[in-house]
Structure 1
Amino acid sequence: MAAQPVRREGREARLAKRARKPLFDPCPPGQPGGRYKPLTDGDLRRIYTTAQDLLANLGMGEVPARLRADLLAAGAKDNGAGRILLPRALVEEAIDKAAKRFVLHGRDKDRSIEVGGDRVYFGTGGAAVQTLDIDSGLYRPSTLQDLHDFTRLQDTLANVSWFTRCCVATDVPDNFDLDVNTAYALVRNTTKPVATSFTLASHVAPIVHLLDIAAGGPGQFSERPFLKAHISPVISPMRFGEDAVDVVYECIRHNIPMSCITAAQAGATAPATLAGFLAQSLAETLASLVMVHVIRPGFPMVFSNWPLVIDLRSGAFCGGSGETAVLNAASAQLSNWLGLPSGVACSMTDAKAIDAQYGVEKGLTSMAAALAGGNLIYESSGMTASLLGASFEGFVIDDEMHSHIYRALRGIEVTEENLGYDAIVAAVLGEGHFLGGQQTFDAMERDYFYPALADRDAPRTWEAGGATDIWSRARTRAREILETHHPAYLSKAQDAAIRDAFSILQADA
C-alpha cells in the first residue's frame, strides 16, 4: 500500500516558520571537538618532554623579583646566570592542580559558558587598529564608536560565545581612558561573557569598581566575574614581561579569570620547524601556568597557546595559512591531552576584502581548530588583514560560517529511526521519492542548517535579484542590526554612577 502524502503547509506559513527560531537548533555552540589529531601519541609525548627539558634546563629569563621569589619558594632553581629553572615536578604539579573546567559568566546567566572538556566555542580577540568602513569599503583608523558598534552588533550573533574587544580605539590617546572606555563599551552593549586587556596593573582596581557598578554593588563582580583578562606574561623566546606579570598578580587579587596567551612567531621568535615551534610554545605557556600556580593554585586560566606564522620570504604575518591551521589544531590537541582548558586562534585571514581569499582562509583555519577540539577559539569573528582590521560584514558572515562548522562537529546520529528502513521501503514501493515523507519533514528542521546569507538560488533567480555577492548581503544585514539594536544593559543609575567616577568619552553609542 502506498504511503499517504503528508499535507504541506502553505508557502507563507512555511516561510514564517523558517523565520522563527527553530524548536530544535541543529547547530548550537558547544559542540564536541577532538576528532582531528594532527599529532600521534608519540608525537605528543616527545613535544611535551622537550618542553619540560627547556623549562628544567634553559628556564625563563627576565623574571620579575616578586615572581622570582614565589617561584623559588615553590621549588624552582636559580641557575646563577639570570635564569630561573622550572623542574619537571613543579610543572607537573601545576598541571595537576590547574582548573580543568570553569564557567565564563555572562551578566545574563543564560549566556554563560563552561570552558574545558571537549566543547568548542567560537569567540573574538584581536586589537585591530583599522576598521573596514561599512560605507566606503576601505580601511580607516578604528574609533571608540566602532568598538561600541562592534559590541552591539555581536550581541545579536549566536555564535560569538564571548566578546573580547576586537579593535583598539585609536582616537583615545590616554591609556587609562582607553582601558576604562573599552570596559564601559563592553558592559553597556552586551551581557555575554566579555574580555579585555589592561595596559598596566594600576588600571585593574579602578575598572573592577566600574564592573562592580554594572554588577550591582561593591564586591559583586568578584563574586561572579563576567569579564576575563587577556594577558601575555611570556615574551618569546622564553622570558617574562614585567608589566604583564604585574597585571596577572592584580587580576588574581580581584578574582578576574584570565587567558594567558603565548603568541610566538615561527621563524622569528620561535623555531621555523613546526615541531620545534610547538615544543617552545608549549614550554612558554606552561611557564605561564606555573606562574599562576605559584600565585594561587587552581586559579581559572585558559591555556592559550597561539602559534603564529610569518611568511619567511618577507617577514609578514600570515594568519590564513595551512601552517597556521595545523599548528593551532596541534596546539589544541596538546592542551587537551594535558587536560587543560585550551585556547587557540583562527580566522586570522590575510585578505583585506570580503572575497574568495577571505572565505578560503577563514574556513580552513576555523574548521581545523574546531575539529581538533579547541575549547575557546579566538579571533574567529570579523578579523581581516592579518589582524590589522575588523569588519562589520565579516562578523555577520563568520557567524553563519560557524553554524556550518558546529553542524559538522555535531556529526551524524545513527539510530533505528534515523536509519529509517521502513521509510525507505515505503518510498521505493510507493511514490518513488522521499519529498513528502514524514521522516523528511522531521529531519528538515532537526538535522539541517539553512543559511541566510549564502546564495542557493538558480543563476536566473540570482540575476533577477540583483546578482549580489555575500559582501553586499552581509552589509545590508549588518546595517539593519546597527540601526535597530540599541541595548540598554546599564540602568540610568548605573550609567550615571560610572560617568561620575570615570571620564566616559562617548555620550551615545
Structure 2
Amino acid sequence: MTIETATTSDEALKPVGSARAGRAARHTRRAQAHTRSAPAYITRQIPTFDLIGEEGLQRIELAADRILAEIGIEFRGDPETVRLFREAGAKFDGVRGTFEPGMLREILKTAPSEFIQHARNPARSVKIGGDGIVFAPAYGSPFVMDLDRGRRYGTLEDFQNFVKLAYMSPSMHHSGGTVCEPVDVPVNKRHLDMVLAHFLNSDKALLGSVTEPSRAQDSVDMARIVFGDAFTDSNCVIMGNFNVNSPLVWDGTMTGGIRAYAAAGQGNVIVPFILGGAMGPVTNAGAIAQALAETMAGCALTQLVRPGAPVIFGNFLSSMALRSGSPTFGTPEPAIGSLVVGQLARRLNLPLRCSGSFTTSKLPDAQSTAESMMSMLAAVQCGAHFVLHAAGFLDGLLSMSYEKFVIDADICSAMHTYLGGMAVDDNALALDAFAEVGPGNHFFGCAHTLANYESAFWDTELSDNDPFETWEENGSLDMATRANAKWKKMLSQYQPPPIDEGIAEGLAEFVARKKASMDDAWH
C-alpha cells in the first residue's frame, strides 16, 4: 500500500541524471497534495501474529474470571453505574462489584466488531475493526518540546499546531484528542477550545473530552452541531478515550463520561494503564489478566447503557525500572504482551487499541526511535485497529515533540507499505523483465523498472540516503535537525480545510455561551 496515489509522467519515469532529482520531484508532489491523496485508513494485507496457544489463552481468561468473581472491581462515585451492573446480575458490597464467569462476555456480544467513525470530510471517515487500521497522534502530554525552545508547558497555540500537523500528515488518519494540554486555558474551559480546534483546523475524525462527564457531553453536543442530530443519533462521529484507575478501580469521572458517549451512540476507547510493579504485577501474564478484567468491565458498561454502542478494547502495558521505580516505555516485555492482548481481543470479537510510538527518551534520538519501533511493530503485529500515540510521544508521554511527531509520521508511512504485504501477480514476478535484460545485465533502464519506478519502493520524507560526501557537503544534518525544518515548513504551508460557514458560527456560539456560563477554574 502506498501513502499517496502515484502521479506519473514520462519525465518522472526517466531514471536519468541524479536519482535525487526524481526523489525531490516526488516530495514536491507530496507537499502539493497534502492529505488529499492519502488513504483514509490502512487496509491490512498481512496476518496478525498469534503468540500463545489455546491452553495459555484459557489460563489468562480463567485468571481474569477469578479476579472478577473473587476480588472484584470498585466503581467509585457513580451510583448509576453500580445500578446498571447490579441489575445486570453483578453482586455488590458497597461499591465493589463481583461478576460470575461469563457474565461480562455475554453482555459484550452486542458490541460491534467493527464500525465507521465518520469525519467532517466524508472522504476521511475511518473503519475501526476488521481489516482497518487507524493511526492517531500521541495524547495527553502536559509539556511540548522542540529543538529551538526546549521543554515547556503546552499552550493552545501548540495544540492547534499539532492538529494542523496531523491534518497535513498523510500517514495520520485521525486528528486525535488531547494532543497536548493547553495549560494557558482554564481547566474547565480548555476542552471547548480543543474540540473547536479539531473541527476547524482539520477535517479528520477526532476524540473528544473525557476529564468530566459534562465535558464529554459538551464534546458530543459540538459534534451534533457539525453532523446534525439525526446523523449523530445513528452514527459514530466522535469518541472518548477512558482510562481505568488501575488496579481494579473505575472512578465516577471516567464511568460518567463513558455513559455520556455511549448514551449518544458514540465511541468509547476503554484502556487500563498498567505500569508493571506499580499498578499491576511485574509478570506479563498477571498484568494481562488484570487488564482483561478491567477492560471487559468498562466495555460492558457501554453495552448496558446502549446495546450496540461502538467500543474499542484498549490496552496500555508498560514496564518499569525496578531499581529506581521509574517507568520505562518501548521495552520488549510490553511489546510481547501486546501480541497476547491482540489474541484476547479477537476472542471477544472487539476492535483493539494497543501500543504506539512509546519511548522514555527525552530527545528525538536513537533511543526514542529504537523504543518506538519496538512498540509500533508490536501494534501492527498484534492486530491493533486504532493506534493512539502513533506520533509525537516523548519523555514517557510527558512531552509532545514537534520533531518526534514528523519522525514518527515518516515511520508510520513506512508501516503503510509494511501492512500492504507483497503482491505475487504477473507484474510482481517480472518475467518480462528477465526476458528483456537477460544474464549479466542490469535492470535499471528496462521497461519493467520504468513502469514501476515511482511505486516500487517506499520513499522516506526524512532519512538521508545520499553518499557520505554529499551528506557532508549539505551540512551534515542529523534526523532531528531535518525534522525541525520539516515541521516548520509544514506549518508555513498549512491551509485550513473548508467548513460550512453556518457550522463554524454554530460552534463558535456554543463555545462562547459555555465559557460565559462559568467562572475560570485552574484546578
Using the size of structure 1 for normalisation, the TM-score is 0.90
- Is 1:160–2:172 an aligned residue pair? yes
Which AA in structure 2 matches 1:149? N
Q: Whole-Å Cα distance in 1 between the matches of residues 184 and 84 of structure 2?
A: 39
- Is 1:8–2:8 an aligned residue pair? no
Among residues 109, 116, 119, which one is paired with 1:103 in the alignment? 116
What is the deviation of 1:134? 4.9
Q: 1:51 to 1:32 in 2, by over 3 A?
A: farther
Partner of 1:142: 154
Which AA in structure 2 matches 1:300? P
* Cα deviation 1:170-228 (Å, max 9, x = unaligned): 111332x111111111111111110132322122333433333333x555544544321
Moved more, 105-114 or 397-406: 397-406
Among residues 365, 370, 390, which one is paired with 2:400 in the alignment? 390
3-state DSSP class of the match of 1:362? helix
Q: 1:436 to 1:25 in 2, by over 3 A?
A: farther
Partner of 1:281: 291
3-state DSSP class of the match of 1:366? helix
* Cα deviation 1:51-97 (Å, max 9, x = unaligned): 1222123222235322222112222223x475322222322212322
What is the deviation of 1:41? 2.9
- Is 1:73–2:73 an aligned residue pair? no
* Cα deviation 1:298-344 (Å, max 9, x = unaligned): 21001112212222222222122122322223322321233210001
Q: 1:223 to 1:487 in 2, by over 3 A?
A: farther
Which AA in structure 2 matches 1:132? M
| Identity in percent | 26
What is the deviation of 1:497? 3.5
Q: Whole-Å Cα distance in 1 between the matches of residues 423 and 37 of structure 2?
A: 15
Partner of 2:342: 332
3-state DSSP class of the match of 1:66? helix
3-state DSSP class of the match of 1:139? strand
Q: Whole-Å Cα distance in 1 between the matches of residues 29 and 84 of structure 2?
A: 55
Partner of 1:369: 379
1:89-488 → structure 2 map (5 Å cutoff): 89-136=102-149, 138-164=150-176, 165-175=178-188, 177-215=189-227, 217=228, 220-232=231-243, 234-429=244-439, 432-488=441-497
Which AA in structure 2 matches 1:59? G
What is the deviation of 1:18? 6.2
3-state DSSP class of the match of 2:445? coil
Q: 1:488 to 1:27 in 2, by over 3 A?
A: closer
Which AA in structure 2 matches 1:345? S
CA contact (8 A) 2:41 2:126 kept: no
CA RMSD of aligned residues (A): 2.6
What is the deviation of 1:15? 5.2
1:22-101 → structure 2 map (5 Å cutoff): 29-32=42-45, 34-62=47-75, 64-78=78-92, 80=93, 83-101=96-114
Q: 1:26 to 1:89 in 2, by over 3 A?
A: closer
Q: Whole-Å Cα distance in 1 between the matches of residues 82 and 26 of structure 2?
A: 62
What is the deviation of 1:37? 2.8
Q: Whole-Å Cα distance in 2 between the matches of residues 28 and 258 of structure 1?
A: 19
Q: Whole-Å Cα distance in 2 between the matches of residues 452 and 243 of structure 1?
A: 42
3-state DSSP class of the match of 2:271? strand
CA contact (8 A) 1:32 1:119 kept: no
- Is 1:501–2:501 an aligned residue pair? no
Q: 1:495 to 1:297 in 2, by over 3 A?
A: closer
What is the deviation of 1:239? 2.2
Moved more, 351-360 or 245-254: 245-254
CA contact (8 A) 2:145 2:399 kept: yes
Structure 1: any 5+ residue segments left out of the alignment? 1-6
Structure 2: any 5+ residue segments left out of the alignment? 1-12, 516-523
What is the deviation of 1:26? 11
CA contact (8 A) 1:27 1:406 kept: no
Partner of 1:3: none
Moved more, 467-476 or 287-296: 287-296
3-state DSSP class of the match of 1:103? strand
CA contact (8 A) 1:262 1:285 kept: yes
Q: Whole-Å Cα distance in 1 between the matches of residues 269 and 23 of structure 2?
A: 44
3-state DSSP class of the match of 1:194? coil
3-state DSSP class of the match of 2:97? strand
3-state DSSP class of the match of 1:263? strand
What is the deviation of 1:394? 1.6
Q: Whole-Å Cα distance in 2 between the matches of residues 489 and 308 of structure 1?
A: 40
3-state DSSP class of the match of 1:213? helix
Q: Whole-Å Cα distance in 1 between the matches of residues 219 and 421 of structure 2?
A: 43
Q: Whole-Å Cα distance in 2 between the matches of residues 335 and 129 of structure 1?
A: 31
CA contact (8 A) 1:26 1:449 kept: no
Q: Whole-Å Cα distance in 2 between the matches of residues 151 and 57 of structure 1?
A: 45
3-state DSSP class of the match of 2:337? helix
Partner of 2:518: none
